[in-house]
Structure 1
């Protein structure tokens, strides 16, 4: 039986080989590690991407907007329009549907985006809603970014803290299971991390800094997977320093209680940025002026294996795929 989460690189490569065809208007199509497709519109580009929400229930509507909007923003483009598909279990009530719709509308308003269409249905075999959202944005043809833009010697900057999304999902959906293991105030604080999962502001800020070469949203598989995906797409290796990766005490306590690795826990809200060394201080200063914490957590190299340098100094070789820690709870 296959594990939950992303397909292996071999399976995904085979799938892409079947699905894709050459089209000169497609400047960037489907590829491992890339966040969104880019289509030539003449002097502009259309940026689009789809994402499902499958591992959360209480926060599903809110997440569905921000997770996909983040992928548009990593291209340096503002997400403007959303198409939402709601696949609902038979037990889903009208009140639950209204709550879901309110979350979607609230999240869309927060980033100034508009829901322009979609589909709804009651789907057999589900025990929780599945929400699939497609986002669109239009940007300048000469000013977009890709995951594959990383360069040898670039530093890796992370915004905010690791595993914000995963921490919030666990504190919300597994609240009762954690009571008695984790102080209630810690769980309440952790639930509020959901309000920090948008990276739209920091991505659009970073896009204006000279020397930024690539951006990637840390989603499934957390910071480990996102860093490796930049490296893979850019044909580089990455060295991550565990002691430099920012982690909140709420995340540390919850992961310790459940036996999870925070670095492999879904981490929307953390934007990873590949930037040339001389531009890193400027980038960090610009982000801090916007109220966004930013930390150098690693570096990219042309040769060698990708490594995680533990706090003890031990060097562990890492590679794709990274199993998503959240799925261990299901």
Structure 2
């Protein structure tokens, strides 16, 4: 029996092997850790990705657009087109549907993308809406990045902080449980983290500076999951120090109260960047000029040793599967 969230790597690897099919136009198809498929159109590359929103209800339409678009941006390409499948619970009304549509349009406008199609239905058995959005971009071959593109010696940059999306979801979904234990102004600020969910701006700034070899959007599994996927996709070792990973006060307080590890908390809004060491400080500087916090947190290395040095001196082995904390805490709350 599977747990909530992503499938374990061994099951996922087996499933992906069954999907293999020879097609010379497909540069990159289904692969663990890769954010988007790449299709050769001749003079350009089509970048395609799909993502669901299943763990949140508030602003679900807005979230669905940004979460899917993020995985196009991590390829170094701006997202242009969007298609969304909207699944609504029975007895949903026009008000709910119109709210979702308005949110989606607002999000698409924010990243200058166009919604070009999709599907909407009332689905039996649901207790909340589910939206699956496909995002598409197009770019030059020489501009497209992959998660597997990290190189030995590359510095690792992290933007904004750990657990950005998860902090906002916990503050919203578990507000009644947290109020009284956490100051209300902390919870209100934490809920606003959801406004920072997009990494399109982060990614476009980084590739403009140059020297970027790979980028990744650490969603489920949080920062640790994102680092693990980059290392595995690139077949490299990795060394990161927890004390260098930025984490906001609101995230620390909420996670400590709930007994949650913020490094394993879903972190859309955070961007991981693998970059030439000579360009790392330039990218950090440019991001900060644009109001985006960024820090160098570690480095990729030759070999298979993949560790995060914790503040207490212990080590997290990134060769072991990472389970996201969000599903665990929501399932028992």
| CA distances 1:124-168 after superposition (whole Å, capped 9, x unpaired) | 111111100000111111111000000111111001111111111
Paired with 1:140 and 1:205, the residues of 2 have a C-alpha distance of 17
Aligned length: 330
Structure 1 residues 320 and 33, CA gap change in structure 2 (3 angstroms) = farther
Which residue does the alignment assign to 1:254?
Answer: 254
Equivalences for residues 248-327 of structure 1 within 5 A: 248-327=248-327
Residue 315 (structure 1) shift: 2.4
User: Structure 2: which 5+ residue stretches go unaligned?
Assistant: none
Which residue does the alignment assign to 1:119?
Answer: 119
Residue 320 (structure 1) shift: 4.5
Which residue does the alignment assign to 2:27?
Answer: 27
Paired with 1:276 and 1:142, the residues of 2 have a C-alpha distance of 17
Paired with 1:316 and 1:118, the residues of 2 have a C-alpha distance of 41
Partner secondary structure for residue 208 of structure 1: helix
Which residue does the alignment assign to 2:2?
Answer: 2
8 Å contact 1:149–1:234 — kept in the other structure?
Answer: yes
Equivalences for residues 137-156 of structure 1 within 5 A: 137-156=137-156
Which residue does the alignment assign to 1:85?
Answer: 85
8 Å contact 1:59–1:169 — kept in the other structure?
Answer: no
Structure 1 residues 209 and 320, CA gap change in structure 2 (3 angstroms) = farther
| CA distances 1:265-293 after superposition (whole Å, capped 9, x unpaired) | 01011000011211111111222222211
Paired with 2:211 and 2:164, the residues of 1 have a C-alpha distance of 27
Residue 3 (structure 1) shift: 0.9
Which residue does the alignment assign to 1:128?
Answer: 128
Paired with 2:129 and 2:69, the residues of 1 have a C-alpha distance of 20
| CA distances 1:251-272 after superposition (whole Å, capped 9, x unpaired) | 1111111111100001011000
Partner secondary structure for residue 10 of structure 1: helix
Paired with 1:158 and 1:172, the residues of 2 have a C-alpha distance of 25
Partner secondary structure for residue 268 of structure 1: coil
8 Å contact 1:64–1:104 — kept in the other structure?
Answer: yes
Residue 304 (structure 1) shift: 4.2
8 Å contact 1:245–1:297 — kept in the other structure?
Answer: yes
Residue 177 (structure 1) shift: 1.7
TM-score by length of 2: 0.96
Residue 321 (structure 1) shift: 2.4
> RMSD over aligned Cα, in angstroms?
1.1
TM-score by length of 1: 0.97
| CA distances 1:1-55 after superposition (whole Å, capped 9, x unpaired) | 3211111111111111111211111111110000001111111111110000000
Partner secondary structure for residue 316 of structure 1: strand
8 Å contact 2:235–2:304 — kept in the other structure?
Answer: no
8 Å contact 1:70–1:198 — kept in the other structure?
Answer: yes
